[in-house]
Amino acid sequence: MNNYVSSFRDGENIYYLNKEGRERVNSKKILKRTTQARHYIMRNSIYIAYGCPSSWKNEVRLGIKEVKNSTVVCDAIFKLDRRYYIVEVDHTQKMTKNRTKIDRYKKLIELEYFDIAPFFIWITTTEYRRKELLKFCDGLEVQIFTINDFH
């Protein structure tokens, strides 16, 4: 396998196909080391924990263009039984940005953008950040994980 994959370390070994590996499996998509790797791994932990929903979509813009401060890009979204589940990854985000994002979600709920208020799923890095996010999410249905919940 060493001839076909490259790797780097970001808390754990992360492997990706190198040029020879891509040629071997006929892949045109070039992947290289990225600072977003931890973000993707955290998001994928939620994807797996929720049973790999077929409706899962990454990086979706939600909102009403005509209404100021009502658009937001979620890290992932999926639907179960007519209800949306919105996934947010807090890896290196500043807490003020998280609060702004949550406020925009609350605005969308007030504007009845969703038929049924969504359920929010966050994954973060520490207990302190989990507690802060819980405060910001007051009034929302939310579950907040830390990365330690998946190791």
Burial letters for 120-150: b for 16+ Cβ neighbours within 10 Å, e otherwise? bbbbbbeeebbebbeebbeebebebbbbeee
For 52, left (φ over 0), alpha (ψ -120 to 50), or beta?
Answer: left
Q: What is the pLDDT of residues 85-141, one digit of tens each?
A: 999 999 888 999 999 999 999 999 999 999 999 999 999 999 999 999 999 999 999
Tell me which residue has tokens 């492997």: 15
pLDDT of residue 52: 96
Please name each of the domains of the chain with its CATH number.
1-33 (no CATH), 35-150 (3.40.91.20)
| pTM, entire model | 0.87
Q: What is the pLDDT of residues 10-37, one digit of tens each?
A: 878 888 888 999 999 999 888 777 778 8
DSSP 14-41: EEEE-HHHHHHHT--------TTHHHHH
Three-state SS string across 36-84, please? CHHHHHHHHHHHHHCCCCCCCEEEEEECCCCCCCCCEEEEEEEEECCEE
- Say which residue, 78 or 34, is predicted with more confidence: 78
